[in-house]
Amino acid sequence: EGANRQKTPNEIALTILLSALTIVFLPVVVTLQPFGRFSGTSVSVVVLVALLVCLIPTTIGALLSAIGIAGMDRLVQRNVLAMSGRAVEAAGDVQTLLLDKTGTITLGNRMAAAFLPTVGHSEEELADAAQLASLADETPEGRSIVVLAKQRFDLRERDLPPDHKFVAFSANTRMSGLDTGGRSIRKGAAESVRRWAVEQGGSIPEGLDDAVNSVARAGSTPLVVADGPTILGVIELKDVVKQGIKEKFAEMRQMGIRTVMITGDNPLTAAAIAEEAGVDDYLAEATPETKMELIKAEQEGGKLVAMTGDGTNDAPALAQADVGVAMNTGTTAAKEAGNMVDLDSNPTKLIDVVEIGKQLLITRGSLTTFSIANDVAKYFAIIPALFVATYPQLDTLNIMKLHSPQSAVLSAVIFNALVIIALIPLALRGVKFRATGSAAILRRNVFIYGVGGIVTPFVFIKLIAVVLTALHAY
């Protein structure tokens, strides 16, 4: 509630550019009538209207809708629904990317990798208790603990007395376990299990903190196991960073996009994963409130922010973000708050969404460059031809040596219509996306679409004029 998505810099810049060009050319064309009378040349209203149509940026104006529709279509092909074309455009202007660690940066299936017993206890003793506590745990982490104990110590076919009771994990206790035969075994977050063991009359064994911190610094998640008041040791749950994700973040950095990893892990684990994945920053022990604060801080610095979410508690942040991609498996509140919905519920898609937005802006920038360059050629085609009879000096600017003012105007108008039709396929297909900086993209646009936009009209307006002359069409 109260979230207000800002206009993108490109949206503002394009509006100013098109308005400025129209405002400049309108009085220029209007003043040609009195100028013509003063010089003794008759300039008809039809010619002036045709001249205005040719000089104002009608080409890019006509192609904007096609470019926007094509961007939304590319998202649909990736099973992402955008609520508006503006959302796709905002994705191209994103400067800060908030990415959940689990499932986006890492594979999301944490697996037990090692048993680290405390002083006075063996690895097998720890594995035995950890397996018992995990027999009813259907999560990938729980199943991996059972499998690791089997592989290391051949612990299998556990017989439990009828009075046994499994204790399910909850967000409040942050522990799970088993009560059986007078034993109470717990495994879970380090702080929670330590507190529970102390309440049972136990104490914190020497070296436990070092083991927990060592696992966390390695980028893994530490789970502490206790058998009643006795803490037996630590299980290392290792999550694997996705292959190629570091290179992808390097590309994002090259494009000027800052990546921030969002995780509920402790700062030590978050720092290790962030370094391995190559993200620019991280937010550890994240809550909905801290995510919202981070988004607002970035936006106050003038940056556009993109993020993903699926829960009701993510809804405020999704609404505040400039690009909020909600997962299809998420809550109704999350999907209503975001301006995009990923039907596959794959958080990694956020990177694809940004690339599609970048391609849309690159395509629009390229065709805008071409459109403005076109106006230069049209100027040299029409203006000198109109007044060369009165002012012979203008013949120097009449590079195309067109037959008459009528042929110049008619050829330019025909070219103006044909070039829009010719550029529609490129607008729909899009200019090929390359993960490069804005300076390199600008140089490429100026060289290909700027120079091409000047040369092309000279060639085709002259060609059209020759055909019209041959057909005696005026």
- Catalytic residue numbers, as ranges: 100
Distance CA 185, CA 167 (A): 9
Distance CA 357, CA 61 (A): 19
- Token pair, residue 136, equals 């009813």
Distance CA 453, CA 305 (A): 34
Distance CA 272, CA 59 (A): 51
Spatial CA neighbour of 105 closest among 249, 268, 214, 213 = 249
DSSP string of 254-277? HTTPEEEEE-SS-HHHHHHHHHHH
> Are residues 326 and 340 in contact, defined by beta-carbon separation less than 8 angstroms?
yes
Q: Write down the H helix ranges in 78-159.
A: 85-92, 123-134, 140-153
Distance CA 312, CA 327 (A): 11
What is residue 1's three-state secondary structure? coil
Distance CA 213, CA 143 (A): 24
Cα dihedral 87, 88, 92, 98 sign:
positive
Q: Which contiguous run of DSSP H or E holds residue 179?
A: strand 175-180
> Are residues 195 and 152 in contact, defined by beta-carbon separation less than 8 angstroms?
no
- Residue 62 is given by DSSP the state H
- Token pair, residue 44, equals 């008809």
Distance CA 222, CA 130 (A): 13
Distance CA 325, CA 342 (A): 7
Rounded alpha-carbon distances, angstroms, from residue 28 to 23, 25, 52, 78: 9, 5, 9, 47
> Are residues 341 and 81 in contact, defined by beta-carbon separation less than 8 angstroms?
yes
- Token pair, residue 92, equals 């191209």
> Are residues 60 and 416 in contact, defined by beta-carbon separation less than 8 angstroms?
no
244: Cβ contacts below 8 Å, ≥ 6 apart = none
Rounded alpha-carbon distances, angstroms, from residue 63 to 69, 286, 459: 10, 43, 22
Interaxial angle between packed helices 267-277 and 245-254, expressed in degrees from 0 to 180 and rounded to the nearest 10: 80
